[in-house]
Amino acid sequence: MALVAGAVAVPTAAAQPLAPPPQLATDEVPEGWPAAPAVSASSYLLVEGSTGQVLAARDPDRRRPVASTVKILSALTVLARADPGDEVTVPAEAAAVGGATVDLDTGEVWTVGQLLDAVLVRSGNDAAVALALEIGGSLEGFVDLMRADAAALGVEGIELTSPSGLDDANRLSARDLGVLTRAALADTRFREIVGRSAVDLPGVGRQPSRNELLGTYPGATGVKTGFTEAAGYALVASAERGGREVIAVLLDSQSADSRFAEAAALLEHAFGTLTALPVRARTSLRVAGGEVVLQAAPVPLVVPADAAVVHPVLALPVEVPPAGEVREAPVLWDDQELARLSVVVGEATRPDVDGGAALGRAVVDRVYAAMRAATTTGSWSLTTAS
């Protein structure tokens, strides 16, 4: 289906609903955590892709110009509303755009997929504008869609004025870009594009990715570079190793080369100095002569490689909770909360306080007395096996 140039914003399909990526672990770096490598970036964030656990950061919430890394959000907005096979006729406004381009000519017909290749692999500003005009009907209309999509993903209050990043009025934080990138990489179409080390473009031929980590850093999977004088050198990079994917966001690095070296150093820190281990609640817990069955999906938490085992701590009331009730179990490392397990209470056997055959009535009474004393602050805690 062709998209009509300059038309009112009528997407080729209903916009796909967007939801924030899951935040299953802490979004702050714990005290006493191993120090990350020194980098020149004014702001950076190192985050675990599957859980959102923040592994290292500097000034991650400061919003600043981000140059072409904003195209991650632009691509998300396009993919939510158009199919890669849809055709787009290049308008004159897009062909006239400067900066990094793929030399689009007015009247050319490209597919949405080809334009996304140009946007994400070659950072084509003209391709970003062509898509924005077609999807949004105007640049302002498309930016409104970008802003709405960002809010749906949990990124609110950002300053957006253009889909390309050529305008330095776009302002996002490293944390904002981390959230958007986690959401984008969940879309296999986006993931496939940003993982390409080179791309064939109509009338242009084969062009290399501007992300130099692809093909040079083991396991690199994406995602986007950026540069303007105001933004400095920016990079969002991702890599997989050992079943984990880690994302590094660097804003305002010292040079084009340093951003790649610094991203590689941060990724090595994540894969080397830190390690992942699955944390789960054990399947049953004995409570004063009864037994509570606990069910919780494992959460892959990251801890220092030399850390002792971490434990989820489950707070239960004096009475055995009813089956099906969900409780939150904080997972602690060095007395600091790393995550919370959602623990589902299964069928439970009740204490036999009448027969006293197992514990004896006096023992049961003492246990419950201790439990009642502990609940003066609301609950008592049990440490379950990891």
Pick the closest to residue 164 from 212, 99, 230, 106 (CA basis).
99
Residue 173 annotated to the active site:
no
Considering the candidates 71, 162, 209, 253, report the single residue annotated as catalytic: 71
d(CA 165, CA 274): 34
Residue 123 annotated to the active site:
yes
Pick the closest to residue 133 from 91, 184, 182 (CA basis).
91
Residue 381 annotated to the active site:
no
Q: What DSSP string describes 276-304? A: EEEE---SEEEETTEEEEEE---EEEEEE
| Residue 112 CA to its chain's centroid (Å) | 25
Place of tokens 């000034």: 59
Sign of CA dihedral 380, 295, 28, 159: negative
Around 251, how many Cα atoms within 13 Å sit in the side-chain half-sphere?
28
221 burial class (0-12, 13-18, 19+ CB within 10 angstroms)?
A: buried
Coil/strand/helix, residue 59:
coil
Considering the candidates 50, 68, 209, 238, report the single residue annotated as catalytic: 68
> Tokens in use for 246?
């880690």
Total Cβ atoms within 10 A of residue 69: 29
d(CA 150, CA 152): 5
Residue positions annotated with a catalytic role: 68, 71, 123
